[in-house]
Amino acid sequence: MILEVKKYPDKILRKKGAVIKEVDREIKELAHSMVDTMYFYKGVGLAAPQVGESKRIVVVDIGDGPEIYLNPKIVKKSGKAILEEGCLSFPDIFLNIKRAHKIQLEALSLKGRLIKKKVEGIAACVLQHEIDHLDGILMIDRLSLGQKIQRRIKDLFPRKSQP
C-alpha cells in the first residue's frame, strides 16, 4: 500500500520515533508499505516519521534490494563524506551534507533478529539520513553555518537571468 509522505514543516518530522517493542503483524505491514512507498516515489530510503508513524523503522534500497531496519542505531562512525542528498519530505531540494564515510549499524530484522552491519559510502550516508529522521533531525539541520548564510544570501539577492 502506498502511504502519504509528510512534507516539511509537518510536525511529525520533528518527533522522536518510538522504539519497536514487538515485531507484530502491524509493524511488518507498515514496513512493507514503506518499501512500496519508497519505490513509488523513487526514493532510496524512507523513515516511518515521513509516512506519519512515530516509530523507529527505516527502509533503504541503494541497488541491492530492499532492507528493513527496526530500532536502528549507529554504534560507530569513521571518516568523512560530503554527498548531495535529497529527501522525499523536501521535494526538489538537494543539499551537500557532511556525514561519516563508514558506520557500524545495529538493528532488528522483521524476524526480530539482531543485525550487525558495517556500511560505507553512499549506503552509510543514506542510513545516517534515515536514522536522523527517527530522532527528528532533518537534512536542513546538517547544513553548516556557511551553507545557511550562502543559501540565505541567494534567497535575498537572486541572480537576474540574462535576456
Give the amino acid at 53: E
Q: Is 120 a catalytic residue?
A: no
Taking 50 as the pLDDT cut, the residues of the chain under it are none
pLDDT at 155: 72
Cβ of 98: how many Cβ atoms within 10 Å?
A: 13
pLDDT at 145: 73
Whether 81 is in a domain gets the answer: yes
Residue-number span of the structural domain to which 29 is assigned? 11-156
How far is the C-alpha of 154 from the C-alpha of 123, rounded, in Å? 31
Whether 141 is in a domain gets the answer: yes
pLDDT at 81: 96
Whether 4 is in a domain gets the answer: no
Q: What is the CATH number of the domain that holds 87?
A: 3.90.45.10
Asked if 139 contacts 95 with a C-beta cutoff of 8 angstroms, the reply is yes
pLDDT at 146: 72
Whether 2 is in a domain gets the answer: no
At residue 136, the 3 state secondary structure works out as: coil
pLDDT at 149: 74
Give the amino acid at 140: I
Q: Active site residue: 53, 67, 85, 130, which one?
A: 130
pTM of model > 0.85: yes
pLDDT tens per residue, range 127-146: 999 999 999 999 999 987 77
Whether 161 is in a domain gets the answer: no
pLDDT at 80: 97
What is the number of structural domains in the chain? 1
- Whether the CA torsion 41, 75, 83, 156 is positive or negative: it is positive
pLDDT at 34: 98
